[in-house]
Amino acid sequence: MKTMKYIATALMLLSMTSCELERLDYTEISPENFFKTETDLKLAVNSLYYDFNPGDFKAVYSADYMGYQVIGDMTTDVLWCCWAWESDELYFQQWYATVGGSIQNHAYSNFERYNFLSKARNTIRRIENSPVSEDAKALYSGEAKALRGWMGLYLYDMFGPVPVASDEVLDGPQTFVYLPRLTEEEYDAMMETDLRDAIRDLPEVAETRGRMTKGAARMILLKYYMIKGYFDKAETLARELLEMEGRVYSLQPDYNYIFSKEGIGNNEVILQLACNNTASWYSNYMTAEVLPADYPWAEKATGWGGYVMPWDFYGTFEEGDLRLKNVVTAYTNKNGEKIDRSNSAQLAKGALPLKYGMDPDMKDGQSGIDVVIYRYADVLLTLAECINRNEGSPTTEAVGLVNRVRKRAGLPELEDAQTASGESFNEAILLERGHEFYLEGLRRQDLIRFGKYVEYANNRIDAINKSEGRGYFNVHEGHNRFWIPQSFIDESKGAIKQNDYDR
């Protein structure tokens, strides 16, 4: 009998659904006594959410270096860390296939999550074979498929296709198989099958915030299509999300409200991680990562003084942009001293992106403000981009979508020069996305998609090599993906192939 101990651990720790789970003895859960009731199905799906929690510093959405959103911004022009260490190597994209030292832990911790795809697939199969009602099976298998798609998106964005066990392999767990990475076509099929099923079977509005919905599944598939360059399919999905405006989603009038304590659960958010400040595993630590130790904010708050928005990027914002309200350029500390770029090691590198508003109940580094994953403004800007790419030039509809986002930020409509051609409009969209989504982890995939990731990195590298005498090497398109740790390649007997770092 195969005991599913991973469910036991996760069920005990799970709290992100804001529900109180009944305390039962799950130390011996097996296919013979589990997946028999609707409650079993819900608990099994709950366990899959655990991998996405924000509080574990090795989790997907950790606020630490290994977190997806942090890596998505720290490897670009949007975010830097004044602690140096491996953060400098990330910011200047100094990684390669045989990289050593602590930075290799990033790739190892992230790549090993490909095992989640098999775990989720086993959960889906057991749900589908359970004796509960068809409606319950559709709901919970849809939720598990959306979660599998979410992890699949994250892994693909970081590494490209990863190894995934087939059902035949899963049926024979005692037979060791060296799994290669899926082909691009196989990965497409997995993502589309899971997420299309999820879109069909999930509700429009979640039972509790943080759970999967039709909109969340659409957004995950939309992100995948954008990374792959499937702009025709992406436009169709973006229009499906646009049709949900007013009924499910809307553009909030106040940008900063979205990320505030008062704004928790607002209807611009399509997917979030439900946080609280009392359970460390489910706390939002992003504020603590940014907050200086001497900042006079909440008395209970702890500041670690790490992350900054580099001054070069800060300088690209237009005057009067309301999205800068919580980006701090100077402050008076707890001792009444004026702190600015001249006397602060942190501010010397950049402004303080305190995007998440003050949580008056913040406990040490733990904030209860939800971590925002995807929101409706992204739908508007993505649809504008898809229209421009598919039509080859700006349309009135596409320009209007961007101007809606700009109006909310207190800015005038785009200038004629910015909409004069498809190329100039793309440049305007990329800049707007950078200003709208800083600290949300989208910058890396945006720059790659617009062909600017390597160019911008080399500009940073050339500048610091000249000003500080560093010896950083220039990077190439191979750096659009992260390296696969050699240990996985060795363990697979060469079935897993390395990403291209040989140019």
Distance between CA atoms of residues 222 and 219, nearest Å: 5
Give me the phi and psi of 366, to 5 degrees please: -95, 115
Distance between CA atoms of residues 106 and 33, nearest Å: 38
> Quick one: pLDDT at residue 29?
54
> Quick one: pLDDT at residue 212?
98
Q: CA 402: distance to chain centroid?
A: 22
pLDDT digits (tens, 9 = 90+) for 128-154: 999 999 999 999 999 999 999 999 999
Element (H, E) at 135: helix 134-159
- List of residues 6+ apart from 149 with CB closer than 8 A: 191, 194, 195, 198, 217, 220, 221, 224
Query: What pTM, to 2 d.p., does this model score?
Result: 0.92
- Residue ranges covered by each domain of the chain: 275-369
Residues of the chain with pLDDT under 50: 1-27, 503
> Quick one: pLDDT at residue 4?
32
DSSP 3-state percent helix, strand, coil across the chain (nearest 5)? 50, 5, 45
DSSP letter at 92?
Answer: T
Q: Using alpha carbons, list the distances in angstroms from residue 203 to 23, 211, 216, 380, 463.
A: 28, 10, 10, 22, 50
- List of residues 6+ apart from 429 with CB closer than 8 A: 381, 384, 385, 388, 402
Structural contact between residues 381 and 433, judged by C-beta atoms closer than 8 angstroms: yes
Q: What is the DSSP string of 34-54?
A: SSSSHHHHHHHHHHHHGGG-S
The residue behind tokens 């068809």 is: 134
> Quick one: pLDDT at residue 40?
95
Distance between CA atoms of residues 49 and 67, nearest Å: 16
* CA-closest candidate to residue 393, choices 370, 421, 363, 367: 421
Name residue 385's amino acid. E
> Quick one: pLDDT at residue 31?
59
Identify any residues that bridge with 310 across adjacent strands, giving them in sequence order: 350
